[in-house]
Amino acid sequence: MLRTLLHKTLLTAIAILLGGWAVVAQHNVVKESALSFKVEEDTSMDYRWEVYNVDKGEIEYNFRSDTNITEKYTFSIAGNYEVRVYPIDKSTRCLGELVAFPIFVIGDAPTLVFDDLSDAQVCAESNADNSDADINCTLNYNGPLPWTFKYSIDGKPAVIPEGADEITTLSFDFVVTIPNTTGGMLYPKIEIVEAMSLSGIKVTEDEENHSKTIGIYPLPDTEFTDYESIVIAGTVQTYTVMIQRHDPDITPSSSESAKRYEIFSPDGTSVLNENTTLLSDNIHSELTFDVQWGTELGAKQVKLIEKTGFNCYGDTIYANVNIVESIPFEVALNETTNACINESVELTPVVTSDYDQTYTYLWSTDETDKSISVSEAGSYALTVTGSGGKSIYASTTVVFNPLPIVDLGLDRNIPEGENITLGDELTVGSSYLWNDGSDTQTIDVSTGGEYWVQITDANGCINRDTINLIEGNTLTVSLETNMDICEGETRYISPAVTGDGITYNWIPGGETESGIYVTKKGTYCVEVSDNHGNKETVCVDVSIMPAPIVDLGDDIKLDVGETVELDGGSSGVSYIWSINEIVSPEEISSTLAVNSTGKYSVEVRGTNECVGRDTVNVYSKGRRYLPSGFSPNDDNKNDVLTVKQYDNVQAITLIIFNRGGQRMFQSNRIDIGWDGTYKGELQRMDTYIYYLKVTLDDNSTEIQRGEVTLLR
């Protein structure tokens, strides 16, 4: 009863102390690890500790301590060990039941590999949301879990990434961002330091695998250089910013990817008149823009983010302003003014106010009159300033509408004695006028000659076009009207054409080749044109004939001597079987008897000459080649673990491991097996792991893994 109680007490508290950190159920350590062991303290007991070498079958070390905790013991040789503890009752000196704790000592120290980074060059860290500055890093670790590490940039103090205090996986991802205000490329080195398991086992330093040098693009030195910090509500204020060299051809209407900056103004405001000018240093540009402020008073902020030529965002810069009250008035100017090309238009604002005041006007053309006349398309801005100092900005976009498109096509032939229609492709307009006085969109003509039409569109713009018709026709087009193809078949269709300068337009699809490949049911048309402007359209209706449905079923596994029947179905008029892609012409029936492995295919031709196909793989079922155990005791019964011999076995590979993963035996011959010894010594009774690869006469292979028991 005493032994049982002592045994249960020990089982509740055994642990290893690794560098002062207690680990329960830890049993894998690295060679040269110094470990201390303890159990839950019971003042009524003493303890006897020892280290037992399982591989040698002998006691390796007796601890001098009789307390519940031992001094450290260094495991200097890889192998299998047991740390044993015997409880001793202090009053009776009775020895309790042994409790053994397995320790597996591996030979190599942990390793760490710093994966190649996906981007060798990234953006610099900025105060903006800039995911392109993220350096995505991955570490692959090989050693006892859990583990941790720190990283350092160019020798600066090392830090632990978020989540890396106790890593329980063999791969760990983390993100690093690095600032760069040098004005040029920066090449910092990210270095992994202090990598170790939490048991205190350090990772061997490896400069090649533990560091990476990254190219960091510089941040732009963007800054506001001029703006008013006090703004009257409702006025327009100009802001000046120094940015990197900017192409002046890139305007506010350019795409966002083309512009290298982005302006953010408060709600209720708008940004106008963006313009860039190259500075004398040939490195920077001056950006100016206006902000039309609203009537809301108080502190406001205009922000700008610049993007470099490397598509990197810089720091967000700020212009802090205070909006104050002023004398109110309103300025109205049409948002859009329409005119026709080659005309001019007068721009006149409407200024209203409840207060009697005088106004001054300044247009973006530098004119100071209230009204101006313009003859070029574009945006025209106006600043109106009241006598109270309040300024209002207004703008209009002048659009000089193009003349209506009038295209009667190229001069072309008109077949003798036939009518053709002119005007089918004209754009819809407000009115039409033909040379014969007709006012419809289209006219029918039957004779050659010169014809013109004049169109007036909804904007009042006028344009005309002329065509010459030549009597006669040289274009002929023919195409089969109906076509049947088998399901899954591809058919090439092409019209027969005579003429000069032929072009093609297939409908649907828009292909321009002389022919197309079709696989689906439908109507396919082609519009054929020649260089005289003649056009002909022909169509073919394509129908799909069904192919025989063939289903040989799922892949099959055969027992030795077993025969199965493959069935190609009853919908065909002929059957062609293939075995391992070799055609077997004598097999013409719908079924085929199979008793060997291979790849079997059948091609079934239906009454409509359409073909269906299917393939099935036939495998051999696996067998057991090894017994579950053997007893090398020289009684001539099961003394050697050997592979069973079968007629169709061509070659084998047999490998035996102990439970610690150590290779004990290997053979490539079927007549040589394991006699249970390793380096001439008979191994202990235990369960061992085997790997067996068998190559059969048909060159197929079977791989088995499992356990085999060595008995005495």
The closest alpha carbon to 324, from 229, 414, 207, belongs to: 229
Pick the CATH number of 111-216 from 1.10.3470, 1.10.10, 2.60.40, 1.20.58: 2.60.40
Architecture of the CATH domain 556-620: Sandwich (2.60)
Q: Is 200 exposed, middle or buried (0-12, 13-18, 19+ CB in 10 A)?
A: middle
The closest alpha carbon to 246, from 289, 288, 281, 276, belongs to: 276
Distance CA 600, CA 121 (A): 54
Residue 43 CB partners (closer than 8 Å, separation 6+): none
Distance CA 618, CA 443 (A): 73
| pLDDT for the residue numbered 453 | 92
Distance CA 383, CA 20 (A): 77
The 10 Å Cβ neighbour count of residue 128 is 16
**Where exactly does CATH 2.60.40.10 map onto the chain?**
223-324, 330-401, 476-545, 556-620
Q: What is the pTM of this model?
A: 0.36
pLDDT mean over 141-169: 89
CATH number of 476-545: 2.60.40.10
pLDDT higher than threshold 90 for residue 365: yes
pLDDT tier, 347 (very low <50, low <70, confident <90, very high otherwise): very high
HSE (side-chain half, CA atoms, 13 Å) at 62: 6
| pLDDT for the residue numbered 356 | 63
CB 331 within 8 A of CB 351: yes
| Residues 134-147 pLDDT 10s | 888 888 888 777 88
| pLDDT for the residue numbered 473 | 63
| Residues 390-414 pLDDT 10s | 789 999 999 998 888 888 887 777 7
CB 549 within 8 A of CB 612: yes
| Percent of the chain predicted with pLDDT > 70 | 89
Locate 660 and state its tokens: 């610690």
The 10 Å Cβ neighbour count of residue 554 is 8
pLDDT tier, 446 (very low <50, low <70, confident <90, very high otherwise): confident
Cα-based angle 246, 251, 256 (whole degrees, multiple of 5): 85
378-387 burial, b for 16+ CB within 10 Å, e for fewer?
eebbbbbbbe
Total count of residues recorded for the chain: 712
Distance CA 397, CA 376 (A): 10
The 10 Å Cβ neighbour count of residue 626 is 18
pLDDT mean over 684-703: 84
Architecture of the CATH domain 629-710: Sandwich (2.60)
Locate 140 and state its tokens: 């692959």
| Residues 527-565 pLDDT 10s | 888 877 778 888 988 888 888 888 888 888 776 567 888
Q: How far from 308 is each of 283, 285, 524, CA to CA, in Å?
A: 12, 13, 51
Quick check: helix, strand or coil at residue 4? helix
Q: How far from 679 is each of 497, 556, 665, CA to CA, in Å?
A: 88, 45, 10
Locate 364 and state its tokens: 């973006």
Distance CA 62, CA 592 (A): 75
Distance, CA of 361 to chain centre: 56
The closest alpha carbon to 374, from 400, 335, 351, 393, belongs to: 400
Handedness of CA 356, 362, 367, 371 (dihedral sign): negative
Report the largest interatomic distance among the alpha carbons of the chain, rounded to a whole angstrom.
134
Residue type, 331: V
Distance CA 602, CA 567 (A): 9
Mean pLDDT of the chain: 83
Highest mean pLDDT among 13-22, 237-246, 416-425, 598-607: 237-246
pLDDT higher than threshold 70 for residue 376: yes
Judged by average pLDDT, the poorest of 265-269, 325-329, 672-676 is 325-329
| Residues 466-511 pLDDT 10s | 988 877 666 788 888 888 888 888 888 888 887 777 889 988 878 8
pLDDT mean over 451-460: 89
pLDDT mean over 236-257: 81
Q: In what order do the strands lie in the sheet with 135-142?
A: 111-114, 135-142, 171-176
Phi, psi of 508 (to 5 degrees): -80, 175
CATH 1.20.5.440 assigned to 2-106: no
| pLDDT for the residue numbered 500 | 73
Fold classification of 223-324 is: Immunoglobulin-like (2.60.40)
Secondary structure element (H or E) that encloses residue 11, with its range: helix 2-11
Residue located via tokens 């029936």: 589
| pLDDT for the residue numbered 660 | 85
Contacts 24+ apart (CB under 8 A), 19-23: 19/199, 19/200, 21/198, 21/199, 21/200, 23/199
Architecture of the CATH domain 330-401: Sandwich (2.60)
Distance, CA of 181 to chain centre: 31
DSSP at 6: H
Phi-psi region of 254 (alpha: psi -120 to 50; beta: other; left: phi over 0): beta
